[in-house]
Amino acid sequence: ETNQPLKGKNVLITAGPTQEAIDPVRFISNHSSGKQGYAIAKVAYEMGANVTLVSGPVQLDPIKGIQTISVKSALEMFEAVKSQLDDAHYIIMAAAVADYRPENIARQKIKKKEDVSNIHMVKNPDILAYAGLHKKENQVICGFAMETENLEENANKKRVEKNCDMLIANNLFTAGAGFKTDTNVVTLFKGEEKIHLDKMTKEQLGVKILETLMEIEEGKTC
């Protein structure tokens, strides 16, 4: 069917921030609202896909008709993604995953005494890089990159290092782009090709992303 071009496709999407606990009442996180990932999930569902959304803590309503797995930390997001990876055809990672977590989570609330100088941070697993490393023939992988400088260079580096078919770069300092807004302004790095897109809603961008991933898939099979 023309209006259900993703019928029979399993689409796995990550969205939102992760929260990395410091103690029972505090965490480290970022400004992701989940809007971009949820917008892609919604349009993928409307295009006929079976959608699984792995979502960090967000203030958005669940989307009817799709499977949502709610997680808090990067480690939880990693486990959830790994459990869904084998069956996924399109993998789109729009989550803002914390790169670091406190090595130890204090069991009790840390008391306000002196300055705290000893929260040791360790690296989180890179979920997108893991998916790229284990990519199967029938999988198309799309990552995002949030940058504040050297957007093209950094985005292309991430595309190559994380073995993505496409990487979508947004700049924190561009009006109408990135965190919390209903719109985004991005550049698609599709293989060696670079495509600048004007400001559009996160749903319009979702359609554009899914259509581009379908093109990439067609290019692989013919």
Just list the catalytic residues.
Answer: 30
Encoded amino acid at 58, one letter: V
The single residue among 95, 151, 166, 188 that binds ligand PMT, judged by CB under 6 A, is 95
Question: At which residue do the structure tokens 């997001």 appear?
Answer: 77
The Cα–Cα gap between 180 and 34 comes to 8
Distance (Å, whole) CA 55 – CA 57: 7
Q: Judged by CB, which is closer to ligand PMT: 36, or 84?
A: 36
Structure tokens at 183: 């719109």
CA distance 45 to 2: 14
* 42: contact with ligand PMT by CB under 6 A: no
d(CA 140, CA 168): 14
Closer residue to ligand PMT (CB): 74 or 188: 74
Q: Are 82 and 12 in contact (CB under 8 A)?
A: no
Map tokens 């284990």 to a residue: 134
Residue among 35 and 89 whose Cβ is closer to ligand PMT: 35
Site for ligand PMT in 54-83 (CB under 6 A): 74
Measured CA to CA in angstroms, residue 169 lies from 24, 54, 126, 148 at distances of: 34, 21, 17, 10
Q: Which is nearer to ligand PMT, 116 or 133 (CB)?
A: 133
Site for ligand PMT in 118-147 (CB under 6 A): 124, 126-128, 143-146
Asked whether position 43 contacts ligand PMT by CB under 6 A, the answer is no
Annotated binding site for CTP: which residue ranges? 99, 109, 125-128, 144, 158, 162
**Options 61-69, 95-103, 133-141, 191-199: segment touching ligand PMT (CB under 6 A):** 95-103
Among 173, 190, 210, CA closest to 46: 210
Q: How many residues contact ligand PMT, by CB under 6 A?
A: 27
Shortest spacing between CB 14 and ligand PMT, in angstroms: 6
In the complex, the residues that contact ligand PMT under the rule CB under 6 A are 14, 16, 32-36, 74, 93-97, 99, 124, 126-128, 143-146, 158, 170, 178-180
